[in-house]
Amino acid sequence: MNPKKALTIAGSDCSGGAGLQADLKTFQERDVYGMTVVTVTVAMVPDTWAHIVKPLPVETIKEQFATIIPGIGADAIKTGMLPTVEIIDAVGALLAKSNCPHIVIDPVMVCKGTSEPLFPENTEAMKRSLLPIAEVVTPNTFEAAQLAGMDDIKNKDDILAAAEAIHKLGPKYVLIKAARIFADKAMDVLYDGKQFTIKENPRINTTWTHGAGCSFSACVTAELAKGASVEEAAATATAFVNAGLRESFPYNKFTGPIYHKAFAKGL
């Protein structure tokens, strides 16, 4: 047996619902071998769920990356939380030299439960160092607005405009996940620079959505590693996350994660 291998360059969420923990769960469920480069640790204050974010040294990140590339090799790589401009630029340089056939950029800008960017100054660094080398970039509507230079995304037309603007920054595909802006549906918009592929699904009525975005981009990464097209990978990721949302559960009064086993169980 020689499974396909996927690498996530992301933050550690000690609660297990998001970050590299969600990525590894998704990789396992989608039958690829998962590896990690840890960029930042995130802990939460129990009484308030305020986030404690501690970036790792760039040299430590480079040492981890060298373990995988060239030490092992990867069929696909995704990024998650890259908490500083220095880390974004360093990871971008590493990816540009990696010769990996599939690079997925999940432009993480906020933690669940917050509404302001963790590091607003990182947007320009993402545009400069990550988007030009991405096969797929997977922003939610908040992140898409930041990357596109828009005040907000409120409707379908805004999503399409944002996708066009982001595509001009260099990625081959833009895959925007839109759920919060619609009352009764979720929408995934895939744009390749020429045409849009739009998928709509009924909105799943849950507030326990921790890790949904990380798991979505991880599923896209896993499917690309196995040889799926971007269109096929996006469709599988939507089905995977929707199943997890239908079986999501609360940790506490603040948040709760999707259930990664749901898709395999047919739930």
Confidence band of 111 (pLDDT split at 50, 70, 90): low
Confidence band of 193 (pLDDT split at 50, 70, 90): very high
Confidence band of 253 (pLDDT split at 50, 70, 90): very high
pTM: 0.96
Q: What CATH number did the domain enclosing 166 receive?
A: 3.40.1190.20
Whether the pLDDT of residue 230 is over 50: the answer is yes
Measured CA angle at 78 (ends 74, 84), to 5 deg: 125
Q: What is the mean pLDDT of the chain?
A: 95
Q: What integer is the mean pLDDT of 234-238? A: 98
CA dist list (Å): 49 to 52, 155, 160: 9, 31, 34
pLDDT digits (tens, 9 = 90+) for 132-180: 999 999 999 999 999 999 999 999 999 999 999 999 999 999 999 998 8
Tell me which of 80-94, 98-112, 195-209, 251-265 is least confident. 98-112
What's the domain range around 91? 5-265
SS (H, E, C) 187-253: EEEEECCCCEEEEEEECCCCCCCECHHHHHHHHHHHHHHCCCCHHHHHHHHHHHHHHHHHCCCCCCC
Closest residue by Cα to residue 159 from 135, 136, 143: 143
**pLDDT at residue 113 in the model:** 45
Q: What integer is the mean pLDDT of 210-217? A: 97
How many domains does the chain contain in total? 1
Tokens of 14: 């000690």
Amino acid letter, residue 160:
L
User: Cα separation of 163 and 166, whole Å?
Assistant: 5
